[in-house]
Structure 1
Amino acid sequence: MTTVLLVHAVSLWRASLACLLSTDARLDVRATDKGGVHASMAECSPDVVVTDLDCPHSLEVLTFMESLRKPAAHAPALMVLARGDRAGDLRRASDAGATGYVDKLGPVDSLCAVVRKVAKGGRHIDESLAFGLLRAADVPLSPRELRVLALAAEGESVTSIASALHLASGTVRNYLAAAIRKTGGRNRLDAIRLSRDFGWL
């Protein structure tokens, strides 16, 4: 039996995805939102975590998964549901250690099989996402700059971003300044707009 932890902030989509995955008797599916991740991880020790990159708070889930990838630590595999036109999302998932990439706009017939494959240590990427993942390497912003800019895009202040990422406020300002310069934006809002246009955020 493969234990799956499905993380999604939208209850209807979370329930629908859980129902779809539960059609495979070899999958033991647990579902939660971002707030229940820590408790669910401790309770069920999942083999694989599945999340949707369009989901609110997906960045926080990816950050948490990345924090688990320490030497000699046993961390569950990470599989993401994504879109090919969001290179920034794909890059963040790659940085977090994702080994499964499924096109959320594609067919669902093989979803359960892919979950089992990734849970067993395999790798999978839908053909429709491959080009987007290659494009992710061309993103001029560093992973940290993208995280800071993504939080700024959600309306977070410099102080709250610094607290969330355990950084000094001055460091956050430096990351924002670098993001503005690298995107060619006039200011923070323009950098956010350009990054969204290019699919980095």
Structure 2
Amino acid sequence: MIRVLLAEDMHMIRAALSALLRLEPDIDVVAEVVRGDRIVPEALRTRPDVAVVDIDLPGVDGITASAELRKTLPGCRILILTAMGQPGQVRRALAEGIEAFLVKDAPGDHLAEAVRRTAQGLRVLDPELVAAAIEYGASPLTPREATVLREAAKGAPAEEIAGRLHLSTGTVRNYLTSAITKTGARNKIDAVRIAEDVGWI
């Protein structure tokens, strides 16, 4: 029996995924969480063989939570659920050693097979997803530029970002200008959109 932890914040999607997996005679959903920061505690409590993790979760994002899970419970395999439009996130996950991905719009019967393959330690990679990740390449943003852009994505003005990150307002503006240039954006809002679309922030 393959024990599965399911991490998905959208209630209807989580219920549907759970129902699909519970139909399988060799799969048991032992835990369901709605936040990334609940993955490790629940995994330690329930000891799943596979964690099926949505890439976008509140609290802690799916990749960060998965990387922590790999360190804390190395025997638990991870299957990331992602959208086709997030090649940067796929590159980030691959860099963390996660090698199983399922595209969210894949046919329902692919889920159980992906869980089985992941449990066996096999790679589950959508060729189009990998090709997109290679095409977009690594993020051109420095870690500090990405942090400033993430704060800007929340609607914070430069002065507020500066206060949060203990930087001068001028330095924050310089980081934003650099991020706009590197993403090929027209302005800050466009830079946020581009970086979010490809998974750089």
TM-score by shorter chain over 0.5? yes
Identical-residue share of aligned pairs (%): 33
1:41 aligns with 2:40: no
Q: Is structure 2 residue 141 aligned with structure 1 residue 141?
A: yes
- Structure 1 counterpart of 2:126: 126
Residue equivalent to 2:53: 51
Deviations 1:2-34 (A, max 9, x none): 221110111111111111111112112121111
- Measured on the aligned residues, the alpha-carbon RMSD in Å equals 3.3
Count of aligned pairs: 193
> Secondary structure of the equivalent of 2:132?
helix
2:63: which partner in 1?
62
Structure of higher CA gyration radius: 2
Query: Does 2:6 align with 1:6?
Result: yes
Q: Please give the secondary structure, in 2, of the residue aligned with 1:124.
A: coil
Counterpart of 2:166, as a letter, is S
Q: Distance in 1 between matches of 2:183 and 2:120?
A: 39
1:86 Cα deviation from its structure 2 partner: 2.0
For the 8 Å contact 1:7–1:32, the answer to whether it is kept is: yes
Would you say the 8 A contact 1:90–1:133 is kept in 2? yes
**TM-score, scaled relative to structure 1:** 0.75
SS at match of 2:94: helix
- Partner Cα distance (1:68, 1:159) in 2: 32
> Structure 2 unaligned runs (5+)?
none
Distance in structure 1 (CA, Å) of the matches to 2:191 and 2:83: 22
1:188 positional shift:
3.5
Matched, 1:18 2:18: yes
For structure 1, the residue ranges without an aligned partner over 5 or more in a row are: 163-167
2:97 counterpart SS class: coil
Report the TM-score, using the length of structure 2 for normalisation. 0.75
